[in-house]
Structure 1
């Protein structure tokens, strides 16, 4: 393939140590991606069209492939190696289809993401947290499919005490005219999967502290390699979206600062566009280059390593990072061909009509007002749990339901509603669970959720659009929409003029105030029940329902069974934003 014109954002070069005079010199190039999330082609399955966004960025491995081909052509294929930094098995209907509708664990078909990576010719990748969403059997099947090692040094087999994934790989590179170079690639992943996918991993694998694992494994790799790269499926800043019982979620900069022997790290998980960051290692005084490609294949990080032969050994004397945007690149015919059948089957699946909507239902304002489309989720969850409790000792307890506004763009059009419309509303592959909570715990839970709003002044105009996603210490970039929960089955106001912890007003059930010792069954997704988002009480509450049913499929099944989605059947406005008792909306 001919070279393509690439839009580039040049990162800062890490200062090189003083290079000795003379000797053999060589430049190697690493190309890195992260957080592809099931994007093989540049296609929006929810919109049923080529993917596009305002920035002009595009997505998918087909775009990435053309960038990789261009760099290989310019630099020489023997001097380029390609890595991926995790979160590749979940995120699109394509990934869902081959995990749940026609699972590769049953059909033996090659996973389309594996086919795409192999068409490009990757040399290594690390598992991300979303690799565990569909269970270890699917991850194992994918690992068997791909032609490169899938790493994960801190993912440990509970039965053997050894790494469940290959911890590292030694990639030998032979550039014509030079002595061989060994690139050691170590893989580490954020330990949050112990909570987020507890049902899939508990008792089978554990996730050890990333810093401690780096301290253990980097010296092993460094002793065998000329260049040491760490694939770190974690961000920087040590932020966390779970409690203190699990090691830090985003310690990539801590690893760079405290563990000697690393030349460069690929960072991910947080979906930031951060092509270059330099961290000074406290032990050696040397700079470590961190690069984070933008999510979904919007960029490819290019990291150049300048090497010099010193006393018969290769030394890294300079590193520099560049972000290659993929939007100007054509889609690779090879990747398109490798994934064509899987893509077509997925498009056919998501465009199946499952029901008719009596009116257009939008999620646009679900963050700050009760909406019918979110109540559709609540109603399905409530009915599913209520039916399952029949004949049990909790059959007479009220069933409440928790849901979050995952997508601001979700809409059920008036008329035909397809699988992709429902998948666009419920974009995650969560399963349904239920726990028992007291009235006091319900109130505390809602107070935690209400942190999502900025506190507003006692008087003056307030635009609800501007007071969401409040910044709190554990969410310095603002609380994400998926960590704001609304509750059905009780009535309450959220007074955003009050400080955090004092916002839930008028909490009642069936017309009576909720007492601290009231008992409720609460339907909730597995991510939240396992501790995702740090909501109090939910992860330790007694589990009363867990049949591993996917919420998205439950929504599709309800739509198909009823044939008509009519808000008159399920919508009841039970919560609102207020200021000193006065509603902010309507």
Structure 2
């Protein structure tokens, strides 16, 4: 096996923290003119911007949880190795300047990313695999995603130092000075033969939800004001510095909404608002929502006749965004001619780039060996496939380990309270085989890097919590048979494209059973029926300790009460590692130890049949 090459270092543009603006930089490129040749008569030039987002630690077209090549129902492929091939192809097809951007969520999401954050943390000679891969592409800049903060600010800063391009975050600011602690933007000066430079401003915006989702890592260290508010500060600055074009890379979805409701004064998904409300923005590379949006044209509300183009490529490197535009010279400045066009290009027909493959192969192989190591056995096969519509032992296992962990740490009066736990079906493809269970089997059940907390709640709050969780289900008009997809992922005001599986929580008791029906014949807010604890109707005044993850306790999903409930346990331990540690310590996973049928879907009290 060859040793992966170290990334070539060059000057990082605007890499220093704490700056409010960046120095201009120069990119040399061939001109494109109306006549097709450079010269003093150059009147027009073309510019293309290629983009990725939500790569989430994917370098290869590989599913570490299944230990095989990645595939989905649409036969998409994933990973930076294939992305580079597409980007190289698109660069070669153009005889004009091309910029490459990313819209965030880079260093979390796969065992590959986890391993080099927690098992063998980056630093010194240990280079992050995403840094190796992305440096070979030659990005001009990347916006910060919310998942960049999952492993803490020190690791993020180490990752930043390993990149050959800047991480941008105009709305990641110092709590005291309110100045950005990452570069807010860069300015690219593109040389045009015998004509003025084309000056391109690239503004990076991240997600205000970081303040909620990773508050343990950022509280008191960084604040995250709104995208619109910060764009209104920095876009005029870019224009004043002579930018002919302003491109925004925003880790914020195109459909205005917030999973955290009104817990923050700034919306989570605000890319369209930036297009509407901030003068001077020409195009936005969108991230965070995990949608494929080839093109969306948004009318400006502040500049008459102005239209802003949004494009979001599909996550994990499944697609690459392409913006194409033409500009015309007017004296010393350039201005857009006609509309900007955009599309997204699939990577599934591309071969993986050999340079990226060689650079990361050794780390990839190390992680495959790690995730395939056996940590215990299971007495029966278990699957999460139907966990969204029926009580399954594999989700009971998560709740059991969480509840046991919090219970063991409680002291005083809290130790006398009954324990509950919440878990969501994060990965319906997760399963335990009968027999040997590996790290990847357990890690595949809990694919997020959440930590565990315990909060004190009342019976009435538990009822409200369950009612909110039941918003996940669509209304039906009979007890079935009905297909799973016709029951789940209801559209709500905070989830305009459908409630994700990770925002459906299942609540279970430890010492005694918490049982309930979800009656889909009833309206939202009145669906929880036959709610009992220890065989009796739940007492609204009874107190419990409830094990929750940091995403939910921080307000993620905007579930009621839990954000403000008193926290009685917070040891900052990762739930996924707790599950692995439990299997190692106990050796055997036996559903008889933790599984029970505690909830069911019904229609007018009749159990539903879900196919």
Normalised TM-score (structure 1): 0.93
Asked if the contact 2:395–2:423 (Cα under 8 Å) also holds between the matched residues in 1, the reply is: yes
Residue in structure 2 matched with residue 12 of structure 1 by the alignment:
none
Structure-2 separation of matches of 1:326 and 1:178: 36
Q: Which whole-Å deviations, capped at 9, do the CAs of 1:227-257 have from their partners, x for residues lacking one?
A: 2111111112311100213111111111112
Q: Does 1:26 align with 2:45?
A: yes
CA root-mean-square deviation: 1.6
CA distance in structure 2 between the aligned counterparts of 1:545 and 1:298, rounded to whole angstroms: 39
> Equivalents in 1 of 2:59, 2:240: separation in Å?
36
2-structure distance, mates of 1:564, 1:82? 49
In structure 2, the residue matched to 1:401 is: 421
Quote the residue 1:335 is aligned against: 356
Do residues 164 (structure 1) and 181 (structure 2) align? yes
The answer for the alignment partner of 1:228 in structure 2 is 246
Indicate which of 476, 481, 484 corresponds to 1:456: 476
1:195-227, CA deviations, whole angstroms, 9 ceiling, x for partnerless residues? 111111111111111111111110111222122
Cα distance, 1:476 vs structure 2: 2.0
**Change over 3 Å in CA distance of 1:65–1:164 after alignment to 2:** same
User: Which secondary structure does the structure 2 equivalent of 1:448 belong to?
Assistant: helix
Say if 2:50 and 2:98, in contact at 8 Å, map to a contact too: yes
C-alpha separation in 1, matches of 2:182 and 2:542: 46
* Aligned 1:347-426 pairs, distance under 5 A: 347-389=368-410, 391-426=411-446
- Residues 228 and 40 of structure 1, relative CA distance in 2, 3 Å threshold: same
Unpaired runs of at least 5, structure 1: 1-21
Distance in 1, Cα, partners of 2:249 & 2:591: 48
Residues 463 and 116 (structure 1), Cα distance of their counterparts in 2 relative to 1, 3 Å cut: closer
Determine the C-alpha separation between the residues in 2 that align with 1:449 and 1:460: 21
Instruction: Decide which moves more: 515-524 or 492-501.
Output: 492-501
CA contact under 8 A between 1:79 and 1:175: conserved in structure 2?
Answer: no
Q: Assess if the C-alpha contact under 8 Å between 1:263 and 1:316 holds in 2.
A: no
In 1: Cα distance, 2:278 partner to 2:442 partner: 46
Q: 1:322 to 1:443 in 2, by over 3 A?
A: closer
SS at 2:200 equivalent = strand
- The aligned residue for residue 546 of structure 1 is 570
Of 257, 260, 267, 1:248 maps to: 267
3-state SS of paired residue (2:71): coil
User: For residues 507-526 of structure 1, what are the structure 2 equivalents within 5 Å?
Assistant: 507-526=531-550
CA distance in structure 2 between the partners assigned to 1:357 and 1:266 by the alignment: 45
Listed one character per residue, the Cα deviations across residues 125-160 of structure 1 (whole Å, up to 9, x for unaligned) are 000111111111111111111011110001101243
Equivalent of residue 498 in structure 1, options 517, 522, 525: 522
Structure 1 68/62 Cα, relative in aligned 2: closer, same or farther at 3 Å? same
Q: Compute the displacement of 1:330 (Å).
A: 0.9
Q: Is the 8 A contact 2:53 2:317 kept in 1?
A: yes
CA distance in 1, matches of 2:161, 2:279: 33
Q: Show structure 2 runs of 5+ residues with no match.
A: 1-40
How far apart, in 2, do the equivalents of 1:31 and 1:524 lie?
39
Return the alpha-carbon distance in structure 1 between the equivalents of residues 127 and 478 of structure 2: 59
* Alpha-carbon distance between aligned partners in 2 of 1:322 and 1:450, rounded to the nearest angstrom: 37
- The corresponding residue for 2:501 is 481
Q: Is the 8 A contact 1:293 1:301 kept in 2?
A: yes
The answer to whether the 8 Å contact 2:143/2:168 transfers is yes
In 2, are the aligned partners of 1:363 and 1:374 still within 8 Å (CA)? yes
Which of 276, 282, 294 is residue 257 of structure 1 equivalent to? Answer: 276
Contact 2:42/2:195, CA 8 A, preserved across alignment: no
Aligned equivalent of 2:104, options 72, 86, 94: 86
After TM superposition, what 4+ stretches of structure 1 lie above 4 angstroms from structure 2?
Answer: 175-178, 458-465
Cα distance change on mapping 1:447 and 1:152 into 2, 3 Å = same
- Count how many residue pairs are aligned between Structure 1 and Structure 2: 562
Indicate yes or no: 2:226 matched with 1:205. Answer: no
Report deviation, 1:450. 1.2
Query: Alpha-carbon deviation of 1:462?
Result: 4.3
Shift of 1:526: 0.6
